Structure formats: structure tokens, C-alpha cells
Amino acid sequence: MKAVGVIVEHNPFHNGHFYHLQQSKKQTGANVIIAVMSGYFLQRGEPALVSKWARAEMALRGGADIVIELPYAFSTQKAEIFAHGAVSILNNLFVDELCFGSEDGDIDSFKHTIKFLDEHTILYNEKIRTFIKQGHSYPKAVSLAFHTLNPNPDVLDLSQPNNILGFHYLKAIKEQKSSMKAAAIKRIHAGYHDKESTHESIASATSIRKRLLEDQSLHSIYQYVPESTYHILNSYFKEYKQFQHWEHYFSYLKYKLLTGTNEEFKEIYEVEEGIENRMIEIVKASHTFYDFMEKLKTKRYTWTRLQRICTHILTNAKKEDMQFALETKKAPYLRLLGMSQNGQQYLNKIKKEIDLPLISTVAKLKNPLLSLDQKASHTYTLGLPSPLQTKQLYTEYSTPPIRLDTPH
């Protein structure tokens, strides 16, 4: 059986993701799709719209065969560490090819870009440091440094979010000395950050979340998601009466900022340069998370970086907790969230050759990164309506992997 891997957040799963899975199978000739999916908190430092279990079911009903959770220590990181963690999981599951969506869609452009930057590494890094000293954020410094090297037309536009991730996927495959190949699929009809949809059936996850959170109605997104996603979202909303977003956690963040000590903040991952002092002063006069972020963001600190810092403060993720991910850049376990019949057959075939623990419940393993996942789960629960919090607190321990017994 040939396996193709995808790295996803599915927040939520929509028609563009369905197209991605279809094309991944078609372009690679794979029999099995393995999805590595972020858990409760995502790469941009946001809580997921719905639980990881609901999103895993969306992925399975949309065509994935196996869904593995990307640990918190990787899912809430900048692109390089995020990519390394996800690629290491796919590598341990003997995936033949990684297939990702990008603005470019031409895998040769990614290869040309890696070659180009390898040839200009010293100058490139010098320019990045120069732009950071000038007060630019790291992503902006990288973009400026890249363009000052006058790349040729065959090289990627590294200002685009999916191109950036794809570039780091290929770098991770190369650095991990993996035999995994890579393929790129061009995004269609909607850009990653598009807040409005112009196509009749394809919209970005950003615009879908905007509609759901502003309208609190699923009717406005019906045409942009598979029917299975629509029903899962509908069931979730009926039970919880909301979709999760940062405002549900702002009071907890405010409490943490106003009661923490300097010593405690110094231990939190990504809290540097006294940013906590600025956060404390601003949060005192902020009534909403959006208001807080608008006042907090600067030329040096992007919205995404600040959201990730807020997430780490909220979950009490310490520098020492994240050290393993930074040093090894590889996941130490495989947390199975769900599988189809086809996926179960594949796992049965390879399970004796897998080097990492393949776990179905957290009680089966003790690991610092798994403890972080549990803290993230508990923190996510705090944003739910209070009558449902106790029930949800136990799902991390009691929920078995989803089994999809019907064909896609």
C-alpha cells in the first residue's frame, strides 16, 4: 500500500481541503491518506474552532484514512519547527510522498529555492540579522532578506504563507534525510488570508470562520463545506452553543497576566525582551482580546507571534517544556485520533516496524510533550460553557480513536 501524507489544521474542513485530499491521491497514486493534524491550539496561536475530535472526524469523512495529532510543542511553533515535527511523524509512518497546498503549486520552484538559499546561506542570514536589528519582525526580516538577494524567476514568492510552509516541509525532509518525496498542489479560488469569498463553492478557512463567528449561523457556510462537515459543525454548535475563539479565553489570560510574577513569565516559552511588562500594562485597559491585540502589536512583534505568546502564557508552556521539540525537531510518539477501515489495514501492516510508540489513549505513555498536550486540552476546556467543562475535561483521557467503518 502506498501512503501519501498531508499536514493540516482543518479549522474547519472545507471544500478546498476536500479538493486537496482528492488531488493528493490522484497525483501520487496512493492508496492511503495520512493526515497530521494540529490539536486544540494552532500554528497562528489560536484555539481551534471546534475540538480535535470533531475536526478528525471531518477529515476522515472527507477522505483521510489516518489522523495523527501534531503535539502542542510543534503545532504552536513558527514554520520551521512546525514542519519538522509534522514531517517526522509522516516519516515514522513510512509515508512515500508528502502532498501540500501552496500558492505556487510547482514543486520545482521549491527545489530551486532551497538550492538558491543554500548557495547564499551566509549572506542571507547576515541580512536577516540586519533587518531584525532595524526593528522588523522575523517573518518580515526573512522576506526582505530574501528579496535583496535578487532571486531568479524560478524561485518561490516566500511572502506567501503556504509557500513558506511548503519550503520548510522540503527543508525538513532534506535535513531529516528522509526518502519521502514531495508534491505541491496549487491553491484554487481562495487565498489563505482571504476574509471574503468570491467563488460559489470554495472559500478560505479564514473567511468561513469569520462567517461562523460573526453570524453564529451555519447557513452562510453551507456551500463551502462538505455535507459531513456541515453536520459535524451543526452537532457541535447544538451541544456547546458556540464555536471557540480567543474572546472565550481572554478573562483567563488577563488573570494570568495580572497575577503572574516576573520570575514566572521568564520561564514561559517565547516571552522575551520584557514583552510581559508591555502586555500587563495594556491588558489593564483592554476589554476584549481583539482590543488588547490591536494595542499590543508592533512592527517587531507580529499578531501571530503575539498570539502564540498569549497561548503559551495561557497553557503555562515553559521554555524547558518545549526544549525537546527545539533540540530534536522530531515527535517522540504518534497519537492516533482516528482511522478508516483502509487506514486500520495500513497500520496493521506497518505497526511492527514503527519505532515510536503508537498510542490510542494518553494513559498508555508518560512523556513531557504529552503532558503539554494534556495541559492544552484542559486549557481549551475552560472556554466552553461551564456546565460542559467537567464532561469535556475527561475526554482527553477517555475518548478512543474514531473508527470510520463506512467507505468515504
Binding-site residue numbers for ATP are 7-20, 101, 162, 187-188
Cα(390)–Cα(395) distance, integer angstroms? 9
Cα(305)–Cα(398) distance, integer angstroms? 33
C-alpha cell at 209: 470562520
Helix orientation angle between 227-240 and 52-61, rounded to the nearest 10 degrees: 160
**Residues in the annotated binding site:** 7-20, 101, 162, 187-188
Single out the residue of 268, 298, 270 nearest to residue 282, CA to CA: 298
User: Where does residue 219 rank: exposed (0-12), middle (13-18), buried (19+ CB within 10 A)?
Assistant: exposed
Cα(285)–Cα(291) distance, integer angstroms? 9
Single out the residue of 316, 332, 327, 388 nearest to residue 41, CA to CA: 316
Q: What are the angstrom distances between the C-alpha of 29 and each of 86, 100, 179, 324? A: 22, 15, 17, 35
What does the DSSP 8-state code read for residue 31? S
Cis peptide before 12 (omega within 30 of 0): yes
